[in-house]
Amino acid sequence: MLPLQNTIRDYAWGSRTLIPELLGLPATDKPAAELWLGAHPVAPSRLDDGTSLIEEVARDPIGMLGESVVRRFGEALPFLLKVLAAEAPLSIQAHPTLEQAQAGFADENAGGIPIGAPNRNYADANHKPELICALTDLEALCGFRDVNASAALFETIIAAGGTALAGYPERLTADGGLREVVTALLRMPEAQRIEMQASVVPACDAVAEARSAWSAECGWTGRLAEAYPGDAGVILALLMNLVRLNPGEALFLSAGRIHAYLRGAGVEIMASSDNVLRCGLTPKHVDVPELLKVLDFTTEDGRPLQAASDGMIRWYPVPVEDFCLGELRSADGREVQLPADGPRILLCTGGSFTISATQDVQTLSRGHSVFVPADTAITVSGVGQLFAAGTNLS
């Protein structure tokens, strides 16, 4: 088993306290947005001797990953585990399917767009389904709401003085209306969006203060407009489900599913990719034509996943093979067996656990993590909270 040293990413929206507290570090003025655990080339975990997890996997792919993982995904760890801590909203975004990522990555390479260029859409050729499990209360925008419900919300805002939305309820409920309205908002000139917000934001403030059925959704509008004046995401957010997760609740985000994390912390797992197509709430590049190819306009209710318990571990069901995530909460120190079932990363987020293999015993305290090679069966015991990340091959 290999203890991991992990990289903190300092994106501007990050909390200055949550990840440092998890790691037992002093807070600074620098945001700590994400902690990356895995073998992604941008910020791979490192071992105690400074070797990257990428290098360690490359030395013995079969031993580290197992034959079935190498056969399915090649000689690279197929998942990336993160701790995400948001003090301010992230951009509204969506992720491509595998086929879209492969085609887009190849096209941009052929076009000579450098990796890391501000107008680049595809950082790699992989899809990026993801799951987030809340560590704290966590608010997110997730998926498009039923168009009739969104039309009712718009009618409420119009009645409160947001006359710039006049006609939008009818447009939404027409055939193909959701795509048409989203496209119009994304392509609207900034000056027109600022004018729309000047009408809609005060109306949303009034709805929020009235403590109506839409108060929570409208309560975010002013905050988003203050942070991103003239941004398409301010109005676009009103078409999305506002989801509030309690600790231990989770969301799965499939390809094309529009989403944004607003505030709070969670453990996030995804296919090992950094492909993000942004829709709004960002000063970064928004490629509207490419985004419209990727967005899934299926409407939904944004309900959290229902976890399935396997003994003492709660597993979050996902329809992909790249990853799985389990949460262990223990108050009595009972032992839990984890068979040799592919590569795993264990992360302790509370308390302390003893991880035992045949001739290797290690202690994981809060904020510590370890990589477990594919052929290593382990026993876990302790008190606190522990996350187990692995692949989802049957």
Task: Please state the three-class secondary structure of 213-231 as a single string.
Answer: CCHHHHHHHHHHHHHCCCC
Average pLDDT of the residues in 292-302: 95
Catalytic residues: 278
Average pLDDT of the residues in 211-225: 94
Short-list 174, 134, 135, 181, CA closest to 295? 181
Three-state DSSP class for residue 32: strand
What span, in angstroms and rounded, lies between the C-alpha atoms of 100 and 290?
10
Whether 19 contacts 385, CB under 8 Å: no
| 171 CA to centre of own chain | 31
Average pLDDT of the residues in 49-68: 96
What span, in angstroms and rounded, lies between the C-alpha atoms of 162 and 129?
36
Going by pLDDT thresholds of 50, 70 and 90, the confidence category of residue 254 is very high
b/e code 330-351 from CB counts within 10 Å (16+ = b): beeeeebebeebbbbbbbbbbb
Extract the tokens encoding 11.
């994106």
Three-state DSSP class for residue 238: helix
Going by pLDDT thresholds of 50, 70 and 90, the confidence category of residue 62 is very high
What span, in angstroms and rounded, lies between the C-alpha atoms of 203 and 209?
10
Short-list 267, 381, 271, 218, CA closest to 40? 271
Average pLDDT of the residues in 42-59: 96
The pLDDT of residue 370? 97
**How many C-beta atoms surround the C-beta of residue 77 within 10 A?**
28
Going by pLDDT thresholds of 50, 70 and 90, the confidence category of residue 3 is very high
